[in-house]
Amino acid sequence: MTDGTRTQVVIIGGGPSGLLLSQLLSTVGVDSVVLERKTKDYVLGRIRAGVLESGMVDLLRQAGVSDRMDKEGHPHDGTIIASGEDEFRLSFRERTGRPVMVYGQTEVTRDLYAAREAAGADLRFEVEDVVIHDAKSDAPYVTYSAGGTTHRIDCDFVAGCDGFHGVSRKTIPDDVRQEFEKVYPFGWLGILSETPPVHDELIYATSERGFALCSMRNDALSRYYVQCDLSDRVEDWSDNAFWDELKRRIPSRFAEALVTGPSIEKSIAPLRSFVTEPMRWGRLFLCGDAAHIVPPTGAKGLNTAASDVHYLFNGLRDFYNKGDSTGIDSYSERALARVWKAERFSWWFSTLIHRFPDRSDFDARMQMAEMAFLRENDAAQQAMAENYVGLPY
């Protein structure tokens, strides 16, 4: 075993939440080591969400990694919500005074890697067999293997940013950890295409055939989704079949304007809501997908990870710079309070806009009434805008 490495915080997971935490900690003089199971190219190859809440935008600026986002990102002041041929625009700017930012998660991650590498950060890729030891003590450490050798890093704290399938959550004992889950009876078939977006704002559409979303990454790269059966396979869907189905689910004025083309990525994502409690066990803290999953409806996955990072960063900063442990002691409670509100919004929006396979006539009428209420009621639009743009940290 190779020993001798010591740092203040070991961060397990080299995705955006782990990198953002490492970058923020560096701004206040706190050292970290980031461990990533995959290669950097693999992490950057993952296609993920692209809508950033205003709070996350502020956090990226605080971390000093916002230059490219501010130059190339697309602020969105509202969104289109459609039911069949009926549609209305929900204005974020009018309701909250703030926009969201459309800027791909891959680009956020790329910017964070660039910043961390420029600073000479300790980033370790292709690590295996990660084990968190003595998390309940004042002297935790992490072991892992790489290149046929076992390594050990001693630290003060461990941040588990390693996703739903990582080791961090499972380190918390079963008799301590409580998990809550809802699995939705459908998935999202998504494609990425080098085509101009059909509209300059996102379109959330529902129809008798199911849900559809028209999104984008930039002026020449579009991201589209349609609700599909869980039994569907990507191979079942040709590009032409996808485009035809998308056109059936969005208002005709958008369908007629849609520019189609070959997909450069195509995948099916299941939908689930998941939360684990607590998000802290001793000196181990869970962040992002390691602690919670939301349906992609409303784009809260990356944004809830960012709010976790905000709470943990501020707690660690106060611990090291002021000797104040209040922030880390209250981390789980504060993070979960916001997570559950994001879960509620994602569940509500998913319920509103998807066609459930066991939907009764009563359920259908409730969806119609809920949509009409949202379209006609200022308070309902205010609530949705506040949640979509992001609740305060």
Residue 225 maps to a domain: yes
Dihedral sign computed on CA atoms, order 146, 158, 333, 318:
negative
Domains of the chain: total: 2
Same domain, 219 and 247: yes
Same domain, 41 and 115: yes
Judge whether residue 270 has pLDDT over 80: yes
Q: What's the mean per-residue pLDDT of the chain?
A: 96
Residue 8 maps to a domain: yes
Residue 85 maps to a domain: no
Same domain, 170 and 197: no
Same domain, 279 and 344: yes
Judge whether residue 46 has pLDDT over 90: no
Judge whether residue 47 has pLDDT over 90: no
Same domain, 276 and 172: yes
Print the domain residue range for 298.
2-74+104-181+272-349
pLDDT digits (tens, 9 = 90+) for 131-189: 999 999 999 999 999 988 999 999 999 999 999 999 999 999 999 999 999 999 999 99
- pTM, to two decimals: 0.96
What's the farthest any 2 CA atoms get from each other in the chain? Answer: 66
Q: Give catalytic status of residue 393 as yes or no.
A: no
Same domain, 62 and 112: yes
pLDDT digits (tens, 9 = 90+) for 314-343: 999 999 999 999 999 999 999 999 999 999
Mapped onto helix, strand or coil, the DSSP state of residue 25 is helix
Residue 79 maps to a domain: no
Residue 132 maps to a domain: yes
Among 300, 311, 320, 354, the active-site one is: 300
Same domain, 316 and 378: no
Q: Give catalytic status of residue 99 as yes or no.
A: no
Judge whether residue 1 has pLDDT over 90: no
Same domain, 157 and 213: no
CATH (domain of 213) = 3.30.9.10
Among 99, 184, 296, 310, the active-site one is: 296
Half-sphere exposure of 190 (CA within 13 A, CB side): 20
Among 76, 199, 310, 354, the active-site one is: 76
Neighbours of 377 (CB within 10 A): 11
CATH (domain of 303) = 3.50.50.60
Residue 20 maps to a domain: yes
Q: Give catalytic status of residue 141 as yes or no.
A: no
Q: Give catalytic status of residue 300 as yes or no.
A: yes
Same domain, 67 and 112: yes
Residue 83 maps to a domain: no
Same domain, 43 and 116: yes
Query: What would the 3-class secondary structure string for 134-188 be?
Result: CCCCCCCEEEEEECCEEEEEECCEEEECCCCCCCHHHHCCCCCCEEEEEEEEEEE
Residue 93 maps to a domain: no
Q: Give catalytic status of residue 40 as yes or no.
A: no
Same domain, 110 and 52: yes
* CA–CA dist 176, 163 (Å, integer): 19
Same domain, 169 and 207: no
The pair phi, psi for residue 206, each rounded to 5°, is -130, 150
Among 144, 184, 204, 320, the active-site one is: 204
